[in-house]
Structure 1
Amino acid sequence: MILVIAGILASAGLGAAFEHRWRERTIPVTDRAIQLLLYVLMPFVTFFSLARLDLGSGVGLGLLVGWIELLVVGGIGWLVATRLLGLDRAGAGTLTICCLLANTGYLGVPLNAALLGHDAIGPAIAWDVAISGPMLFVFGFGIAAACGTKAGETARERVRAFLTRNPPLLALVAGLVAPDVLAPDILVTIAHDAAIALLPVGFFVLGVHLAREQDEGVVRFPPPLTRPIGAIIGLRLVAAPVLFGVLALTLADVPDAYRLQAAMPCGINALIAAHTYGLDLRMAASAVAWTTGLAVAASGVAGVVT
């Protein structure tokens, strides 16, 4: 657990230091890192994890419950943003995707390994690729394309932006229909290890991104705890795991890793979606910072207790 927290702080800090010291060099490096994640690592992990995923018993039903939980929380987030907070379209879209997109890959997988043991890695990755992946590629990017200011003006332009900016969709579909023979054990093992290795890459990019936006006056440290951020914290860190826990009571053999994944903070991918499609970047960055800090602190306490 200590190594996970140290890895997060070191990776984010290193990214921020690189941004401050070598700004012009860091921008193309981080752009390539994001492309590597989206075009190579994420499709690789997604395909080989889904191709061998056993959806029998509580494993598959637990994933279905996870989908229901996230869609309900996302719907509540949209209503809170539009009806209670009166946010504009971009702000409402940002709040919604921050509730939908949990950091179950960069953070959730290593946290499961640290708190629950190595056997929890498989179910944790199953949640990440079967729920968080599609949630990002379909709903996250879809909402961002529909609400963002950089996705075009017409419906056709927004659909085109949605289809051309999330290539891992192909890996997702291929992984669902591919037979087991196309996913040998060695490649599945490598995919699982690659999922854990995404943590330093993801938080390095986050550190670079936050430092860059701080220099440009978009965010400050610590980020202000606004009403939208408070709503995201409540929905992502409280409502989501509680709702999943209640729904999971109707099932048997639901992996403990699922319960932990349901409580993960706002995902780094919310920043990518916000930057790509023109959502409220300040809100997305603040949501990632606040929810990650609270989740890591809670996980640290849990690690000490257990």
Structure 2
Amino acid sequence: MEFPSLRLLSLYVPLIGWSSLGFWLGRICPLWVGDRLGKLLFWVGVPISVLGFLRQSELSAAVWLAPVAAWLAIALGGLLGWLWLMATLKQGQRPEQKQRPVSSPMTQSRPQQGSFLLATMMGNTGYLGFPVSLALIGPKYFAWALFYDMIGTTLGAYGLGVVMAAHFGGMQKSPRDLLRALVCNPVLWSFALGLGIHDIPLPLWLDSFLKTVAWTSITVALVLIGMRLSQLRSWRSVRLASVSLSVKMLIVPLLIGVLLSFTSLGSAEKLAIVLQVSMPPAFATLVLCEAYELDRELTVTALAMGSIGLLVTLPLWLLLFPTS
């Protein structure tokens, strides 16, 4: 059995190294560099990497449990987050507390509530979840991470997430605009194409090309994450961000992991799902925050704290859900 620390080392070295390079580049390069790099990944790199890794993955009927787990995790995160907000509201309404100001999320603003809930529900299961899954489990089980992201997080963020953002924020863009963005997402089309050609033999040079682009895209994605983090300027709203991250990255993954222990899934499949559930808040939450005028300070703080906190929480899941 491979010792967990060796697998973590194989992940942390490129994760920290490439992200640190991106952080440095983000400080010295113009903003348009990160934007162009992000568009290149979105339209070319990630779609091709989906094709490349999907062809290396084993597909089975059980893989559809991944998006089911994704939606369950989204629902649990939202429910627990909302219960915490309601409990804080009741605490702030106690008679003995009426004479002094209360820093309750429910007594502040609806945009802050929206940002808080989105941070507890939507994870970075693509740019960050993919390399974590590949490093800790391998390409053989990549389909589980892919199904979780495509049919779970992506649809959740630009479906339910749009509805919630419009409800809690000052709407700037119509839901039709983000629905159009969802339909035009090249990764979704690449995912569908990859399923269609999964069992079709391809020339060796083409398979090799897909694999090379796939691994290169993962590296570039880590650099881009570092560049995005270097552009985050706010570290306030730590208390609320800590609560949302505790729900998103600790409580919900543990609950999902316990539920999966009652299924017949193999240990690798269970770990693949738990790792995706435990990802920090998605950068899509920042997109929704800016589009619908939610609390950017809280969203940014949760993104930064969650990305760093991932280095601490990953060993926990490897110990609780070993693959052999």
Shorter-chain TM-score above 0.5:
yes
- Asked if the contact 1:49/1:188 (under 8 Å) is kept, the reply is no
Structure 1 vs Structure 2 CA RMSD: 3.8
Q: Using a 3 Å threshold, how does the CA distance of structure 1 residues 249 and 213 change in structure 2: closer, same or farther?
A: closer
Q: Using a 3 Å threshold, how does the CA distance of structure 1 residues 96 and 162 change in structure 2: closer, same or farther?
A: farther
Per-residue deviation at 1:191? Answer: 5.3
Q: Residue 5 of structure 2 corresponds to which residue in structure 1? A: none
Per-residue deviation at 1:31? Answer: 0.8
- Whether 2:21 is the aligned partner of 1:9: answer no
Q: Using a 3 Å threshold, how does the CA distance of structure 1 residues 293 and 192 change in structure 2: closer, same or farther?
A: farther
- Whether 2:75 is the aligned partner of 1:72: answer yes
- Asked if the contact 2:67/2:151 (under 8 Å) is kept, the reply is no
The 2-side partners of 1:70 and 1:8 are apart by 25
The 1-side partners of 2:71 and 2:158 are apart by 19
Q: Residue 140 of structure 2 corresponds to which residue in structure 1? A: 122
- Whether 2:113 is the aligned partner of 1:92: answer yes
1:108 to 129, 143, 146: 129
The 1-side partners of 2:254 and 2:20 are apart by 32
The 1-side partners of 2:84 and 2:221 are apart by 28
Residue by residue over 1:129-164, the C-alpha shift from the partner in whole angstroms, topping out at 9 and shown as x without a partner, is 2112333432212345442668536xxx22223313
| Larger Rg belongs to | 2
Q: Residue 38 of structure 1 corresponds to which residue in structure 2? A: 42
Residue by residue over 1:246-298, the C-alpha shift from the partner in whole angstroms, topping out at 9 and shown as x without a partner, is 22123113323333333233334434444455443322222222222222134
SS of 2:231's partner is helix
- Whether 2:218 is the aligned partner of 1:206: answer no
- The percentage of aligned residue pairs carrying the same residue is 19
| 1:22-61 to 2 correspondences below 5 Å | 22=29, 26-47=30-51, 55-56=59-60, 58-61=62-65
Q: Using a 3 Å threshold, how does the CA distance of structure 1 residues 67 and 299 change in structure 2: closer, same or farther?
A: closer
Deviating more after overlay: 271-280 vs 187-196:
187-196
- Whether 2:273 is the aligned partner of 1:226: answer no
SS of 1:252's partner is coil
| 1:156-235 to 2 correspondences below 5 Å | 157-164=174-181, 167-168=185-186, 170-171=188-189, 174-175=192-193, 178-181=196-199, 184=202, 194=213, 196-214=215-233, 219-220=234-235, 225-227=238-240, 229-235=241-247
The 2-side partners of 1:266 and 1:235 are apart by 11
Q: Which runs of 5+ in 2 are unaligned?
A: 1-7, 89-104
The 2-side partners of 1:191 and 1:270 are apart by 30
Per-residue deviation at 1:181? Answer: 4.8
1:247 to 244, 250, 259: 259
The 2-side partners of 1:138 and 1:38 are apart by 16
- Asked if the contact 1:16/1:210 (under 8 Å) is kept, the reply is yes
The 1-side partners of 2:55 and 2:212 are apart by 16
Q: Using a 3 Å threshold, how does the CA distance of structure 1 residues 3 and 95 change in structure 2: closer, same or farther?
A: same
Q: Residue 172 of structure 2 corresponds to which residue in structure 1? A: 152
- Asked if the contact 2:53/2:214 (under 8 Å) is kept, the reply is no
Q: Using a 3 Å threshold, how does the CA distance of structure 1 residues 48 and 198 change in structure 2: closer, same or farther?
A: closer
Deviating more after overlay: 68-77 vs 288-297:
68-77
Q: Using a 3 Å threshold, how does the CA distance of structure 1 residues 113 and 158 change in structure 2: closer, same or farther?
A: closer
SS of 2:238's partner is coil
Q: Residue 259 of structure 1 corresponds to which residue in structure 2? A: 274
Q: Residue 93 of structure 2 corresponds to which residue in structure 1? A: none
- Asked if the contact 1:15/1:207 (under 8 Å) is kept, the reply is yes
Residue by residue over 1:12-64, the C-alpha shift from the partner in whole angstroms, topping out at 9 and shown as x without a partner, is 33333333334xxx211111111122222233334565678655354433x15
Q: Using a 3 Å threshold, how does the CA distance of structure 1 residues 207 and 276 change in structure 2: closer, same or farther?
A: farther
- Asked if the contact 1:236/1:263 (under 8 Å) is kept, the reply is yes
Per-residue deviation at 1:211? Answer: 3.1
